Amino acid sequence: NASLLGILQHPDGTVLKQLQPPPRGPREQEFYNKVYDSECCDSILLELREYLPKYFGVWSPPTAPNDTYLKLEDVTRKFNKPCIMDVKIGQKSYDPYASAEKIQQQVSKYPLMEEIGFLVLGMRVYHVSSDSYETQNQHYGRSLTKETVKDGISKFFHSGYCLRKDVVAASIQKVEKILEWFEGQTQLNFYASSLLFVYEGSCQATTMRLSDVTLAEKRRVPKGLLSGGDVLEYNNNIHVINSTENGKIEASVGKGLSKFYALHKKACSKRHHSQLSLKVENSEQDNVWKTSTCITQEHLNGNVLPQLEKVFYHMPAETKESANVEVRMIDFAHVFPSNTKDEGYIYGLKNLITVLQNILDN
């Protein structure tokens, strides 16, 4: 069961996905090796790299040289409050070589797969209003029907205050790019493979008048910071690996949705007790106003936060258009060479785009 296989976080910013037992693990490794072969000059595979996590080969812990892990880019790493959704794509979640028993098992898990073409395996959404995450596991996705799938997926794009239409729009664009790739290739078919959606749940950039001071902030003020002291977040869905001085590897073990990459990075911040410094670097991609302001604690306790929150939901158009969203293909234990288009995956992508478009239009 993939959800029980740990995804480990490596200190260098990659994640480690343990190789599944044969034939699945070796097949996934072979897929990554083929796509990321340094000699590769196949334009189809070279373009495919854009839609995958970067691959850094395999890794084994010194203490257990027979355990093999795929070393992959942590797609969530650049996000402050990553919202994550894992959607299995295709009309069949069993491959052409599956036994009758395996087919029966897969179909019974979600009989609507053939008709809907995708299945939500899980999601984790940051709610700005409560400064907390809401998590749904695969039972949530399997409970969705044709009638409820739109509302079921729109939950992923809801911040607790509003529907993040900027994120929905950006997601559609990214999925359309992947669809174009599938329409143009006839060499690979994907079964039981997923799309990983990640977006920034905290508010990216806002400006407002604040007693004649323009305040820009890149990250929403987490509640923990207001009381001062260190803020340490630890998520038990993730295994964090620390290399200790003597070379041993220690992993703190977590359970749950570890299927999701590293759902959340360990965040540690220090702030001064009475003052909160809000600084913004002006970088090209971040479309942020350069300013540096200090707000005192009493301001924060007064009416500033409600005002800030009002502004968050009226972002300038240029910020909305460049929503920080990643959509990557993951899970390749059932990828096979082919000489036809992958119609089942294409069907799932088109249906997913339709659902996302409906969320956007309503």
Per DSSP, the residues of 71-129 read EEE-TTTT-SSEEEEEEEESS-SS-TT--HHHHHHHHHH-TTHHHH-EEEEEEEEEETT
Tokens of 359: 């969320």
pLDDT value at 88 more than 50: yes
| pLDDT interval class at 205 (50, 70, 90) | very low
CA distance 20 to 7: 12
331: left (phi over 0), alpha (psi -120 to 50) or beta: left
Task: Return the closest-CA partner of residue 238 out of 199, 268, 265.
Answer: 265
The pLDDT > 70 percentage for the chain reads 65
What sign results for the dihedral spanned by CA atoms 260, 266, 271, 277?
A: negative
Cis before residue 11, ω within 30 degrees of 0? no
Distances, alpha carbon 324 to alpha carbons 16, 224, 308, in Å: 24, 24, 20
pLDDT value at 278 more than 90: no
pLDDT value at 251 more than 70: no
pLDDT value at 166 more than 70: yes
155 near 356, Cβ under 8 Å? no
- Name, of 70-79, 236-245, 277-286, 311-320, the range with top average pLDDT: 70-79
Which pLDDT belongs to residue 259?
A: 37
pLDDT value at 170 more than 70: yes
CA distance 251 to 231: 22
CA distance 312 to 307: 9
Other CB atoms closer than 10 Å to residue 49's CB: what's the count?
A: 13
- Name, of 3-17, 224-238, 331-345, the range with top average pLDDT: 331-345
DSSP 3-state of 55 = strand
pLDDT value at 292 more than 70: no
Domain 75-204+323-361 belongs to what architecture? Answer: 2-Layer Sandwich (3.30)
Q: What is the residue extent of each domain of the chain?
A: 1-74, 75-204+323-361
Alpha helices by DSSP H, 129-264 = 138-142, 149-154, 165-183, 223-226
Q: What is the mean pLDDT of residues 228-256?
A: 36
